[in-house]
Structure 1
Amino acid sequence: MAGAAEEVVLDAAGATGHEAAQPAAQSQAPARGVPQVDPVLWARLVEQPFEHDLFMLLRRLDAHGDHPLLGRAPRPLDEPLRLGQEPSMAFAPSNVSGVDVDSDGPPRISIYGFGLFGPNGPLPLHLTEYARERKRHHADNTISAFADLFHHRLILLFYRAWADAQSVNSLDRPDGHRFVDYVASLMNMGQPGLKERDRIADHARTFMAGHLVRQTRNPEGLIQILKLYFDVPVRVEEFVSDWVMIDERQVSRIGLTGRNHRLGGGATIGLAVRDAQSKFRLELGPLSQEEFREFLPGSKRLQQVVDWVRQYVGIEFAWELRLVLRKQDAHGARLNSNQRLGWGSWLGTRMSDTDAGDMVFQPEALFSRSASAAPVAAPATSSMGL
């Protein structure tokens, strides 16, 4: 049945000579003007319409971006389907009463509950009985077709009101990320110029909005972001000591023209001071050999780590990265291996039986502070043998 349905869709798109040969399949596949949905879905709709919820069905049809949003089309001709109410005296056993795809126009979906007819409708019951009798016994659907002019618009507006209130619905189509823009605005990233500015997908950043909207940034938030994004163990070591270079104008000098040389009043020895409050160390691992290579300099994942740290921490703090390699993957350099000299290999046999945490370097030295994060020639420091 699915194969026959696909053949009819091809015929409607432009093939000729098969319309008369496929009478059975044409009753189960849509004709011109229909959204490009799986033909099997239309076959199920025709055979068992009562199994489908109206809003879920319209949402599935609305997810295809080849037509305007249902309820937002400027003209009826731009809408890919027609909606109407089945005149019936029965209380609605289901939302959808039937689907008709036999006509030359767009497919027609009939429902039970919402409309002018029926026991819950505003019209007198005898009008429902009359419309039903004319349609079923005289093949005259004039009254119901006239009422469907209003039903179609009312049902689409009813659906659009529901869909706009469901935040997840805006992700169904690539051109309707309305709720994503709302969440991005909470992170001061709602403007178009602030999107797609680095190697992190905007949707991933929106997913982490719970951490990024907070004014106070703590190590736990950075750990959770990196752990969820990269799916590797993450640890943050705070208060890592570092040497901070003193500005040339602040260096202590003695003599008649000296400056900053008063003991206890600003005098310092040397060109740098030890600082333990402006740097932290980010540790990833233990990692497998494959994961380890994915975070080495020049890799996309390392660039994403830098982008995440800049997004969450900013440029106020200095930081360094430690990659921990699993002990079973830490072995000596071998010929014809893909180990990188100086980044993931050892000369001879590694004597320690613990995970290898030798790799420590500063990723910020590898990338500029621009949004594009272009690599520069500055080498990274490593304590590995090779």
Structure 2
Amino acid sequence: MTGTTDFWQRLGERPYDFDLFAALRRIESLHPQSPRLGHSQRPQQDPIRLGQAPSTSFAPATLAGLDERRAAAKLRIFSFGLFGPNGPLPLALTEYAMERANHHGDETLSAFADIFHHRLIQLFYRAWASAQSTVSLDRDQDDSFTRHVASLVHHGLESQRERDSVPDHARWNHAGHLVRQVRNAEGLERILANFFRMPARIEEFARHWLPLPDDQRTRLGGASNAQLGVDAVAGQAVPDRQHRFRIRLGAMGLADYENLLPTGRGHRQLLDWARSYIGIEYAWDVRLVLHAAEVPRVSLGGVTRLGWTSWLGASAATQDRDDLVLDPEHIAATTHSYRPRRTAGSPSSEPTRSHP
């Protein structure tokens, strides 16, 4: 019989420490090659035989013991069966089965009843397991719980899985946030804080500059956009606070900081999380905050990178460094280092990119 030796040893020595459903769930997960309990067509397909220990006393525990004398181990329980004070048979038959087994070594009657017990206990367990969706996670090839949760966020089909750098289970873990039609800042904060294991804060209405098209700029001698106080604009861009927000991550250690730089995997995951949560409706950027104790010193032959992980000064930093702001969407659009993967139902046109 295969399985974890320590589990079977504890089950045989201390069966009263186990709950029936917990023990059967563990046994079922240890035998992925066998049909699920309650789904087999013959007893030979089951990893364990089930039966009831005849007893006239009220059950002191759920499990009576594990019998490994036969080729197929047999797990006996006290409750849920034909015998005993709670069973449908008269107590005289329970006493007779006990007397034959204890004094004559004859288990014919109880073995015959176990033919029915074996199937009934399995169906009893299956009724419980079917209502506990997480039980299906014990087997990857028959994971209905994952399919149900993935369907909530439109990932129910296999072709919709593994679409980007964010692990599927990480996304499904936050299905409660992703399933809502109204996406708020608190939801994105919790997702990023939980996924990256660091403080995350959304700064709404972040200021940025919107470039003006050539035909809307003010020019000397122009016939339009030249009324002072009405539509005249000095410059090539106007400030805006309606369409951009800023993600503030940290303070964090140097390893996490470098992971979120454009060359790190965390940078792509941050971009994919933002696209999954808000789409392309808003512009956004991210401010990375590095712990003061983790700020590297610049030295010849060092591994610091200009503009990303290098700061001038010989003395140790006394404050967290938060002067690096990145625009992942702009970086992806200009470097072509990371393109969104096409999926069924996605628009064919390229999303509008915001300028830094």
Q: How high is the TM-score relative to the length of structure 2?
A: 0.84
- The alpha-carbon distance between structure 1 residues 238 and 44, as it changes in their structure 2 partners (threshold 3 A), is closer
What is the aligned-residue RMSD (CA, Å)? 2.9
Q: Confirm or deny: 8 A CA contact 1:236 1:280 kept in the other structure.
A: yes
2:141 counterpart SS class: coil
* Structure 1 residue 136, shift from structure 2 partner: 2.5
Supply the AA of the counterpart residue of 1:194.
Answer: Q
Deviation at 1:74, TM superposition (A): 3.3
Amino acid at match of 2:340: S
Task: Map 1:352-367; keep pairs closer than 5 Å.
Answer: 353-367=318-332
Letter in 2 for 1:143: L
Letter in 2 for 1:74: Q
Equivalent position amino acid for 1:313 in 2: I
1:42-53 to 2 correspondences below 5 Å? 42-53=8-19
Structure 2 residues not aligned, in runs of 5+:
333-337, 343-354
Name which of 257, 275, 279 aligns with 2:244.
Answer: 279
> What residue is the counterpart of 1:166 in the other structure?
132
Alignment partner, residue 306 of structure 1? 271
Q: 1:327 to 1:135 in 2, by over 3 A?
A: closer
The 1:44/1:288 distance shift into structure 2, 3 A limit, reads: closer
Equivalent residue, structure 2, for 1:231:
197
Contact between 1:252 and 1:259, CA under 8 Å: does it hold in 2?
Answer: no
Other-structure match for 1:121: 87
The answer for unaligned runs of 5 or more in structure 1 is 1-33, 373-380
In structure 2, the partner of 1:9 is none
Question: How many angstroms apart in 1 are the aligned matches of 2:287 and 2:81?
Answer: 65
Partner of 1:56: 22
Match of 1:181 in 2: 147
Measured after TM superposition, the shift of residue 158 of structure 1 is 0.2
Instruction: Compute the displacement of 1:91 (Å).
Output: 1.7
Is it true that 1:78 corresponds to 2:45 in the alignment? yes
Q: List per-residue Cα deviations over 1:118-143 (Å, max 9, x = no partner).
A: 12111122222222222222332222
> 1:371 aligned to 2:337?
no
The corresponding residue for 2:116 is 150
- Looking at structure 2, the residues matched to 113 and 315 of structure 1 have their Cα atoms a distance apart, in angstroms, of 59
Which secondary structure does the structure 2 equivalent of 1:175 belong to? helix
| Corresponding letter in the other structure for 1:337 | G
- Matched to 1:287, the amino acid is M
How far is the alpha carbon of 1:159 from its aligned partner?
A: 0.5
Gap change, CA 1:275 and 1:350, over 3 Å in 2 = farther
CA displacement at 1:246 relative to structure 2: 4.7
1:227 Cα deviation after fit:
1.0
In 2: Cα distance, 1:181 partner to 1:318 partner? 32
CA deviations on 1:68-96 (whole Å, 9 max, x unpaired) are 22112233222111001112222212111
> Compared with structure 1, are the counterparts of its residues 219 and 42 closer, same or farther at alpha carbon in structure 2 (3 Å cutoff)?
same
Maintained 8 Å contact 2:67/2:74: yes
Alignment of 1:173-212 (within 5 A): 173-212=139-178
- The structural deviation recorded for 1:341 is 2.5
Distance 1:206 1:133 in 2: 56
Distance in 1, Cα, partners of 2:137 & 2:13: 30
Q: Which amino acid aligns with 2:127?
A: A
- Aligned-residue identity in percent: 46
Give the AA of the match of 1:177. D
CA contact (8 A) 2:49 2:73 kept: yes
Name 1:138's counterpart in structure 2.
104
> Does structure 1 conserve the Cα–Cα contact (< 8 Å) formed by 2:218 and 2:233?
no
